[in-house]
Amino acid sequence: MAYVSEPTRSTGDLVTASIWNQGVGLNAAAFFTGLTDTTPVGGATHKFGGSHVDTLPTAVPTGATIDKIAAGTDAWLIDSAKLTAASYALEIVAISDNALDVITAILVNLDDGAPNTALTGSSAATSGTAVTGQRVRSGTITLPTGGTAKQLAVKASNGNAAYNGRLLAASLIRTG
Protein backbone atom coordinates (compact mmCIF):
# COMPACT_ATOMS: atom_id res chain seq x y z
CA MET A 1 0.00 0.00 0.00
CA ALA A 2 1.44 3.36 -0.97
CA TYR A 3 0.95 6.85 0.35
CA VAL A 4 -2.13 8.53 -1.16
CA SER A 5 -1.78 12.23 -1.81
CA GLU A 6 -4.70 14.47 -0.98
CA PRO A 7 -6.46 16.03 -3.98
CA THR A 8 -5.85 19.71 -4.60
CA ARG A 9 -8.65 21.78 -3.18
CA SER A 10 -9.72 25.26 -4.17
CA THR A 11 -10.67 28.09 -1.86
CA GLY A 12 -14.29 27.68 -0.87
CA ASP A 13 -14.42 23.89 -1.49
CA LEU A 14 -16.53 22.04 1.03
CA VAL A 15 -14.40 19.58 2.96
CA THR A 16 -16.48 17.36 5.20
CA ALA A 17 -15.15 15.16 7.99
CA SER A 18 -15.87 12.17 5.80
CA ILE A 19 -13.75 13.51 2.94
CA TRP A 20 -10.96 14.56 5.29
CA ASN A 21 -10.89 11.23 7.16
CA GLN A 22 -10.85 9.20 3.96
CA GLY A 23 -7.39 10.50 3.07
CA VAL A 24 -6.16 10.30 6.65
CA GLY A 25 -7.34 6.69 6.98
CA LEU A 26 -5.70 5.58 3.74
CA ASN A 27 -2.41 7.17 4.67
CA ALA A 28 -2.47 5.76 8.21
CA ALA A 29 -2.96 2.28 6.76
CA ALA A 30 -0.04 2.82 4.39
CA PHE A 31 2.13 4.16 7.20
CA PHE A 32 1.50 1.28 9.60
CA THR A 33 1.71 -1.56 7.06
CA GLY A 34 4.73 -3.71 7.78
CA LEU A 35 5.89 -1.83 10.88
CA THR A 36 7.50 -3.81 13.64
CA ASP A 37 7.84 -2.79 17.29
CA THR A 38 9.28 0.71 17.65
CA THR A 39 9.04 0.96 21.43
CA PRO A 40 11.71 3.25 22.90
CA VAL A 41 14.17 1.87 25.44
CA GLY A 42 12.39 1.90 28.80
CA GLY A 43 8.98 1.85 27.16
CA ALA A 44 6.36 -0.86 27.54
CA THR A 45 6.18 -3.14 24.52
CA HIS A 46 3.06 -4.78 25.97
CA LYS A 47 1.08 -4.03 29.11
CA PHE A 48 -0.33 -7.30 30.40
CA GLY A 49 -2.46 -5.60 33.07
CA GLY A 50 -2.99 -6.53 36.71
CA SER A 51 -5.53 -6.36 39.51
CA HIS A 52 -5.75 -4.32 42.70
CA VAL A 53 -8.51 -6.59 44.02
CA ASP A 54 -7.52 -10.22 43.46
CA THR A 55 -5.17 -11.85 45.97
CA LEU A 56 -2.48 -14.03 44.42
CA PRO A 57 -2.30 -17.80 44.99
CA THR A 58 0.65 -19.19 46.99
CA ALA A 59 1.89 -21.18 43.99
CA VAL A 60 1.88 -20.48 40.27
CA PRO A 61 -1.26 -22.13 38.85
CA THR A 62 -0.54 -25.02 36.49
CA GLY A 63 -1.99 -25.19 33.02
CA ALA A 64 -1.99 -23.48 29.64
CA THR A 65 -5.44 -21.90 29.73
CA ILE A 66 -6.30 -18.25 30.31
CA ASP A 67 -7.89 -18.97 33.70
CA LYS A 68 -4.41 -19.96 34.98
CA ILE A 69 -2.70 -16.62 34.31
CA ALA A 70 -2.48 -13.75 36.82
CA ALA A 71 -5.83 -12.10 37.57
CA GLY A 72 -6.56 -9.04 35.46
CA THR A 73 -3.86 -9.82 32.90
CA ASP A 74 -4.09 -10.95 29.31
CA ALA A 75 -2.27 -13.36 27.01
CA TRP A 76 -0.35 -11.64 24.23
CA LEU A 77 -0.18 -13.39 20.85
CA ILE A 78 3.11 -12.25 19.34
CA ASP A 79 5.73 -13.50 16.92
CA SER A 80 8.96 -12.43 18.63
CA ALA A 81 10.50 -11.90 15.17
CA LYS A 82 8.28 -8.79 14.94
CA LEU A 83 9.91 -7.23 18.01
CA THR A 84 12.86 -4.93 17.57
CA ALA A 85 16.12 -6.81 18.11
CA ALA A 86 16.77 -5.66 21.68
CA SER A 87 16.77 -6.78 25.29
CA TYR A 88 13.46 -7.19 27.13
CA ALA A 89 12.46 -7.60 30.78
CA LEU A 90 9.27 -8.24 32.72
CA GLU A 91 8.41 -5.27 34.91
CA ILE A 92 5.88 -5.68 37.70
CA VAL A 93 4.25 -3.45 40.27
CA ALA A 94 3.11 -5.39 43.33
CA ILE A 95 1.80 -4.69 46.81
CA SER A 96 1.23 -6.76 49.93
CA ASP A 97 -0.23 -6.24 53.38
CA ASN A 98 2.92 -7.62 55.03
CA ALA A 99 6.57 -6.61 54.64
CA LEU A 100 7.68 -10.25 54.86
CA ASP A 101 5.70 -11.23 51.77
CA VAL A 102 7.49 -11.92 48.48
CA ILE A 103 5.46 -11.64 45.30
CA THR A 104 6.88 -13.36 42.24
CA ALA A 105 5.77 -13.02 38.62
CA ILE A 106 7.03 -14.94 35.60
CA LEU A 107 6.50 -14.68 31.85
CA VAL A 108 5.42 -17.97 30.30
CA ASN A 109 4.80 -19.33 26.81
CA LEU A 110 1.36 -20.97 26.85
CA ASP A 111 1.82 -22.66 23.47
CA ASP A 112 4.97 -24.78 23.52
CA GLY A 113 4.24 -27.44 26.12
CA ALA A 114 5.79 -25.79 29.23
CA PRO A 115 3.13 -23.30 30.38
CA ASN A 116 4.31 -23.44 34.00
CA THR A 117 7.97 -22.75 33.29
CA ALA A 118 9.30 -19.21 33.32
CA LEU A 119 10.97 -18.03 30.13
CA THR A 120 14.68 -17.77 30.91
CA GLY A 121 15.39 -14.53 32.77
CA SER A 122 11.73 -13.59 33.26
CA SER A 123 11.29 -14.04 37.02
CA ALA A 124 10.64 -10.77 38.89
CA ALA A 125 10.19 -10.81 42.67
CA THR A 126 9.62 -8.17 45.32
CA SER A 127 12.24 -7.96 48.05
CA GLY A 128 9.91 -7.90 51.02
CA THR A 129 9.20 -4.16 50.99
CA ALA A 130 6.02 -4.30 48.95
CA VAL A 131 3.79 -2.92 51.73
CA THR A 132 3.82 0.49 50.05
CA GLY A 133 4.07 -1.00 46.56
CA GLN A 134 7.19 -1.98 44.70
CA ARG A 135 8.27 -1.89 41.06
CA VAL A 136 10.66 -4.67 40.08
CA ARG A 137 12.23 -5.82 36.80
CA SER A 138 13.36 -9.28 35.82
CA GLY A 139 16.64 -10.03 34.12
CA THR A 140 16.95 -10.14 30.35
CA ILE A 141 14.35 -12.51 28.93
CA THR A 142 15.05 -15.15 26.31
CA LEU A 143 11.95 -14.91 24.11
CA PRO A 144 10.65 -17.84 22.03
CA THR A 145 12.25 -18.30 18.62
CA GLY A 146 10.58 -16.06 16.05
CA GLY A 147 8.65 -17.24 13.03
CA THR A 148 5.40 -18.30 14.69
CA ALA A 149 3.16 -16.28 16.99
CA LYS A 150 3.08 -17.56 20.58
CA GLN A 151 0.80 -16.69 23.52
CA LEU A 152 2.91 -15.05 26.21
CA ALA A 153 1.31 -14.52 29.61
CA VAL A 154 2.15 -13.61 33.19
CA LYS A 155 1.68 -16.00 36.09
CA ALA A 156 2.21 -14.83 39.65
CA SER A 157 2.31 -16.12 43.20
CA ASN A 158 2.27 -14.82 46.73
CA GLY A 159 4.92 -16.16 49.11
CA ASN A 160 2.63 -16.79 52.07
CA ALA A 161 -1.07 -17.65 52.31
CA ALA A 162 -1.39 -15.53 55.46
CA TYR A 163 -0.66 -12.35 53.47
CA ASN A 164 -2.61 -10.61 50.72
CA GLY A 165 -0.24 -10.00 47.81
CA ARG A 166 -1.49 -8.38 44.62
CA LEU A 167 0.03 -7.95 41.18
CA LEU A 168 -1.07 -4.42 40.23
CA ALA A 169 0.62 -4.29 36.82
CA ALA A 170 2.91 -6.28 34.56
CA SER A 171 4.58 -5.12 31.35
CA LEU A 172 7.16 -6.36 28.88
CA ILE A 173 9.75 -3.56 28.84
CA ARG A 174 12.41 -2.91 26.23
CA THR A 175 15.66 -2.46 28.17
CA GLY A 176 18.27 -2.08 25.47
Helix intervals (H) in the chain = 17-32
> Domain spanning 44-174 has what CATH number?
2.60.120
Q: How confident is the model at residue 27 (pLDDT cuts 50, 70, 90)?
A: very low
State which amino acid sits at residue 6: E
Domain parsing of the chain, residue ranges: 1-35, 44-174
State which amino acid sits at residue 70: A
pLDDT in tens, 76-103: 999 988 888 889 999 999 988 888 889 9
pLDDT of residue 132: 80
Global confidence as pTM: 0.75
User: For residue 78, which of 39, 28, 29 has the smallest C-alpha distance?
Assistant: 39
